Amino acid sequence: MSDDSTGGASSRAAAFPFRGRLARKGPGPASTLNIANVVTVVRILMAPLFIAWLLIDAGADGGLRIAAAVLFVVAILTDSLDGALARGLDLVTDFGKLVDPIADKVLVGGALVSLTILGELPWWVTALVLLREVGITVYRFAVLRDRVIPASRGGKLKTVLQAVAVTVALFPLWNVVGEGMHWVNGVLMTAAVVATLVSGADYLRVAYKHGRGA
């Protein structure tokens, strides 16, 4: 009886993904519109605003740039919030597993492209990162019918390094501590790019092993 009811709930959740639990822990499936997924979507919606502020500032290092940097930090911090909500309230969904890493890619990718447009970051750095991020995202969608691929530990470390590197690059700290800050920015961005490429190679390795097993 219990198995039948669980199976029925799963079937209804698949047919009506917006039905279910929104912000509480308990029996039954979680809704796609649950609080954790809403936070993830809001993170994506923050990206156009901070990008616009950054580009409007146009390298003047004024109030809009500071506001853009602060908004980026707030958006990145919500990554921990939606994960904690999803795990703590048992609101983990396939939608969340898929969209959560995409939200990070939109934020970081938008920041990198903006910094490149402003002439503060070499184009090849942005190209390498975007190539990896777009490639892994396409791969996730390609195997979506078979399985949902969540972020790996290496992918999460990569996201942290990217967030730190971009945050330091966004705040005009060189106006406070001197030109040596540009060297610090370079070291942090290099570490982020290396982690990005290594984690991408790890995804390809896992995909190759899965393909051989299949």
Q: Which residue has the tokens 């029996």?
A: 27
Q: What is the pTM of this model?
A: 0.80
Domains in the chain, number = 1
pLDDT for the residue 21: 84
Write the pLDDT tens digit of every residue in 56-109: 999 899 999 999 999 999 999 888 888 888 888 888 888 888 888 888 889 999
Tell me if 14 is assigned to some domain. Answer: no
CA distance 108 to 163: 7
Q: What is the largest CA-CA distance in the chain?
A: 69
pLDDT for the residue 2: 41
pLDDT for the residue 14: 46
Single-letter code of the amino acid located at 139:
Y
DSSP label at residue 34: S
Tell me if 26 is assigned to some domain. Answer: no
For range 97-122, the mean pLDDT: 91
Rg of the Cα atoms in the chain: 20
Query: What is the extent of the structural domain holding 189?
Result: 34-213
Tell me if 86 is assigned to some domain. Answer: yes
Confirm if 20 and 30 have CB atoms less than 8 A apart: yes
Tell me if 10 is assigned to some domain. Answer: no
Tell me if 1 is assigned to some domain. Answer: no
Judged by DSSP in three states, 120 sits in coil
pLDDT for the residue 3: 45
Q: Which has more confidence, 212 or 142? A: 142
Write the pLDDT tens digit of every residue in 186-206: 999 999 999 999 988 887 787
- Provide the CATH number for the domain around residue 205: 1.20.120.1760
Write the pLDDT tens digit of every residue in 152-161: 677 788 889 9
Tell me if 180 is assigned to some domain. Answer: yes
